[in-house]
Chains A and B, each alone.
Chain A
Amino acid sequence: MQHGKYRFITGFLALPLGLYLLFVVWPFVQSIYYSFTDWTGLSPEFGMIGAGNYTRMLDDPVFWKSLQHSLVLVLVLPLVTLGLALFFAFMINVGGRRRNAVVAGVRGSAFYKIAYFFPQVLSIAIVALLFQFAFNPDDGMINATLEAVGLGSIQPDWLGDPDLALIVVMMVLVWSTVGFFVVLFSAGMASIPREIYEAALLDGATRFTTFFRVTLPLLWDTVQSGWVYMGILALGAESFAVVQIMTVGPGGPDYSTTVLPLYVYQAAFRDGQAAYATTIGVALLVVTLAFAAIVMRLGRRERLEF
């Protein structure tokens, strides 16, 4: 049975692990090293400058704006997305009315789940592009719709307005992620035994209390991992794509939408400051890990078995 075991293990691990080390782990390690150098990325020569990039970063107003917007995204996006998704999932699963039924799904629940999931299969780049047109103040569908329903006096500039642009970015990210969590939470809710709901209703609980006292606690594990997932998304590729594609600049107007991953990208590939870019990247890493740790800590509670 042990014959050739180690040769087999080595043979099977070599290629996947080698690829992973070369393209993922090694660049990560390098980027932390580079953050202490003055490497531009344009020439192979560079020298150590200690914490120079870090002190520079602390004095960089664009960095603080990016950090601030990333923090807003990481706080607001999970709250709004998971809140909406829980609400919709609850409505789909127990919002229905049926004779002799304690809790019942609404009619057409299958349709809602299919439709809500649409954005999840689309590329975030395509979604961002679509909404860039939709939010066009002159010939986009959003302002045209406002006009059609009699709100012609409200024609915001959306992405051109520094006060609204970040909100538009968040709306697009919420639009594209809610459906996934509706489906996820629906599956979780469907697996809660109906006897628990019956017991709650026999005790005279309203649906409102049922949701907060029964559904939410039993779904807590899922909500918590969804929270971490949404936070990482808000700090990662999704927010980069939406800001880079939709906003003017990108990151504008007047730095009102710039986020950390976008600033890393711009510093490295637009401004030719590769070392400084990795420094901002390290800040992004710190924010990401801190966020995950905080959610795990705050969310810790006794696991409920059912």
Chain B
Amino acid sequence: MKTTETPPPAVRQGGDRGPDQAAHAGAGRSGRQPGGEGAALNVFSHGVLVIWAIMVVLPLLWAVMTSFKTDDAILSSPWSLPDGLHLENWGRAWNQAHMSDYFLNTIIVVGGSLVGTLVLGSMAAYVLARFEFPGNRFVYYLFLGGNSFPIMLALVPLFYVMSNLSLLNTLHGLILVYIAYSLPFTVFFLTAFFRTLPSSVAEAALIDGASHSRTFFQVMLPMARPGLISVGIFNFLGQWNQYMLPTVLNTEPETKVLSQGLVELATSQGYKGDWSGLFAGLVMAMLPVLGAYIVFQRQVVSGLTAGALK
């Protein structure tokens, strides 16, 4: 999911029960309809599910396998197994093809913009959720509107705004833009979240003499942790995978980020014909997120379907 997308809102969420338990039922069906429909459906449903699983996994496995092959082997037969682990492909991609630079740039940009998005997003959301003031609704809907407008329309003038501010092709400029385009969903999600928190704790803190900002940082933010984690995962993946914003606003080779750098690599390597190095770079970019997803599966799924939890 990308930073700039509208999240899919509104699903009724009945907890993350597995379908097995959830769908269990004890009524005596077997007496009326023995075998028949059930058996056929069972075979059929397994059939289609397995086919789609293969269609999803096979291209990924193919890329991993290809990244260990020599160029000759790639070009002669796409499905042959590698004749050895050609790890030099990975070394070439990491050093000569600047994958290490792209990784570093991406870590800097995503690190900065993720922290910025969460801090600024929760500040705005808290004020919009818990305080009445003239213009509250207007500001809220202004943020909300950013979810559904086509970003491309804004990017043309934005390019020149950035250019005038000397922010074009800089990492800090990219960080600011990532934050700005992540705010609509972050504010939308966290506003809903802050509304669900009990107000008694904050009131108690205020009565005890804490200032509004101290109450926010020391009382409300810790209470909002689950919401921050969900929206943080959502934004992390969106910003890590971001392609359109850097493609338009960040065209210097030294400041390129991962997905954009990889595409650049494909264009230039295409002429050089270093297919194996390119596949190594591709897999290198894929594996960290896939690995993190497998480890933190439950959190990632709930983070990405965050809008659905509303």
Residues of A at the B interface (CB closer than 8 Å) are 1, 4-6, 8-9, 11-13, 15-17, 19-20, 22-28, 30-31, 34, 41, 84, 87-88, 91-106, 109-126, 129-134, 138-141, 143-145, 148, 175, 178-180, 183-184, 186-192, 194-195, 197-198, 201-202, 206-207, 221-222, 225-226, 228-229, 232-233, 235-238, 240-241, 244-245, 260-261, 264-265, 268-269, 274, 277-278, 281-282, 284-285, 288-289, 292
Question: Contacts A103-B25, A112-B49, A120-B1: A27 and B157 contacting too (C-beta < 8 A)?
Answer: yes
Contact partner, B285, options A23, A106, A126, A235, Cβ 8 Å = A126
User: Contact: A240 with B8, CB < 8 Å?
Assistant: no
Residue of A nearest to B2 (CB): A237
Contact partner, B150, options A4, A13, A134, A288, Cβ 8 Å = A288
Question: Contacts A12-B126, A31-B153, A281-B152: A96 and B297 contacting too (C-beta < 8 A)?
Answer: no
Q: How far is the CA of A292 from the CA of B159 in the complex (A)?
A: 27
Q: How far is the CA of A111 from the CA of B308 in the complex (A)?
A: 22
User: Contact: A245 with B45, CB < 8 Å?
Assistant: no
Question: Contacts A121-B290, A221-B10: A115 and B57 contacting too (C-beta < 8 A)?
Answer: yes
Residues of B within 8 A of A130 (CB): 59-60, 63, 282
Tell me which residues from 227 to 241 in chain B have a Cβ below 8 Å from any Cβ of chain A: 237, 240-241
Residues of B within 8 A of A189 (CB): 19, 23
Q: How far is the CA of A301 from the CA of B231 in the complex (A)?
A: 30
User: Contact: A118 with B60, CB < 8 Å?
Assistant: yes
Residues of A within 8 A of B176 (CB): 19, 23
Q: Is the interface of B mostly helix, strand, loop or mixed?
A: helix
Q: Digit string of B27-57 for contact with A (CB within 8 Å is 1, else 0)?
A: 1111000000111011011101100110111
A-B contact pairs, 11 of them (CB 8 A): A1-B203, A27-B161, A94-B23, A122-B241, A126-B286, A133-B279, A194-B25, A201-B29, A237-B243, A265-B155, A285-B150
Interface size for B (C-beta < 8 A) is: 125
Q: How far is the CA of A282 from the CA of B157 in the complex (A)?
A: 13
Q: Digit string of B97-130 for contact with A (CB within 8 Å is 1, else 0)?
A: 0000000000000000000000011011011000
Q: How far is the CA of A201 from the CA of B76 in the complex (A)?
A: 56
Q: How far is the CA of A117 from the CA of B52 in the complex (A)?
A: 11
Contact of B89 with A by CB under 8 A: no
Contact of B280 with A by CB under 8 A: no
Contact partner, B304, options A120, A138, A178, A264, Cβ 8 Å = A120
Q: How far is the CA of A121 from the CA of B290 in the complex (A)?
A: 7
User: Contact: A184 with B150, CB < 8 Å?
Assistant: no
Question: Contacts A6-B133, A274-B156: A198 and B11 contacting too (C-beta < 8 A)?
Answer: no
Q: How far is the CA of A95 from the CA of B42 in the complex (A)?
A: 6
Kindly provide the distance from the CB of A80 to the nearest chain B CB, expressed in whole angstroms: 13
User: Contact: B25 with A197, CB < 8 Å?
Assistant: yes
User: Contact: B29 with A101, CB < 8 Å?
Assistant: yes
Question: Contacts A12-B213, A15-B123, A134-B59: A129 and B266 contacting too (C-beta < 8 A)?
Answer: yes
Q: How far is the CA of A285 from the CA of B152 in the complex (A)?
A: 9
User: Contact: A190 with B18, CB < 8 Å?
Assistant: yes
User: Contact: B305 with A8, CB < 8 Å?
Assistant: no
User: Contact: A118 with B57, CB < 8 Å?
Assistant: yes
User: Contact: B56 with A87, CB < 8 Å?
Assistant: no
User: Contact: B142 with A282, CB < 8 Å?
Assistant: no
Residue of A nearest to B76 (CB): A139
Q: How far is the CA of A277 from the CA of B159 in the complex (A)?
A: 13
Residues of B within 8 A of A124 (CB): 2, 241, 243
Kindly provide the distance from the CB of B237 to the nearest chain A CB, expressed in whole angstroms: 6
Q: How far is the CA of A241 from the CA of B5 in the complex (A)?
A: 13
User: Contact: B12 with A222, CB < 8 Å?
Assistant: yes
Kindly provide the distance from the CB of A289 to the nearest chain B CB, expressed in whole angstroms: 8
User: Contact: A16 with B120, CB < 8 Å?
Assistant: yes
Residues of B within 8 A of A122 (CB): 241, 286, 289-290
Residues of A within 8 A of B143 (CB): 20
Q: How far is the CA of A70 from the CA of B208 in the complex (A)?
A: 58
Q: How far is the CA of A145 from the CA of B79 in the complex (A)?
A: 8
Kindly provide the distance from the CB of A71 to the nearest chain B CB, expressed in whole angstroms: 14
Residue of A nearest to B143 (CB): A20
User: Contact: A144 with B301, CB < 8 Å?
Assistant: no
Q: How far is the CA of A183 from the CA of B74 in the complex (A)?
A: 35
User: Contact: A8 with B213, CB < 8 Å?
Assistant: yes
User: Contact: B157 with A278, CB < 8 Å?
Assistant: yes
User: Contact: B156 with A264, CB < 8 Å?
Assistant: yes
Q: In the complex, given contacts A20-B146, A22-B180, A184-B8, what are 5 additional A-B residue pairs having Cβ atoms less than 8 angstroms apart?
A: A12-B213, A19-B180, A114-B294, A122-B241, A141-B59
Tell me which residues from 143 to 168 in chain B have a Cβ below 8 Å from any Cβ of chain A: 143, 146, 148-161
Residue of A nearest to B261 (CB): A125
Residue of A nearest to B291 (CB): A121
User: Contact: A190 with B41, CB < 8 Å?
Assistant: no
Contact partner, A226, options B8, B55, B262, Cβ 8 Å = B8
User: Contact: B152 with A106, CB < 8 Å?
Assistant: no
Contact of B78 with A by CB under 8 A: yes
Q: How far is the CA of A297 from the CA of B37 in the complex (A)?
A: 38
Q: How far is the CA of A98 from the CA of B211 in the complex (A)?
A: 60
Residues of A within 8 A of B286 (CB): 122, 126
Kindly provide the distance from the CB of B235 to the nearest chain A CB, expressed in whole angstroms: 13
User: Contact: A281 with B5, CB < 8 Å?
Assistant: no
Question: Contacts A23-B177, A87-B48: A241 and B244 contacting too (C-beta < 8 A)?
Answer: yes
Residue of A nearest to B131 (CB): A9
Contact of B83 with A by CB under 8 A: no
Contact partner, A125, options B24, B241, B300, Cβ 8 Å = B241
Q: How far is the CA of A33 from the CA of B275 in the complex (A)?
A: 46
Tell me which residues from 274 to 310 in chain B have a Cβ below 8 Å from any Cβ of chain A: 275, 279, 282, 285-286, 289-290, 292-294, 297, 300-301, 304-305, 308
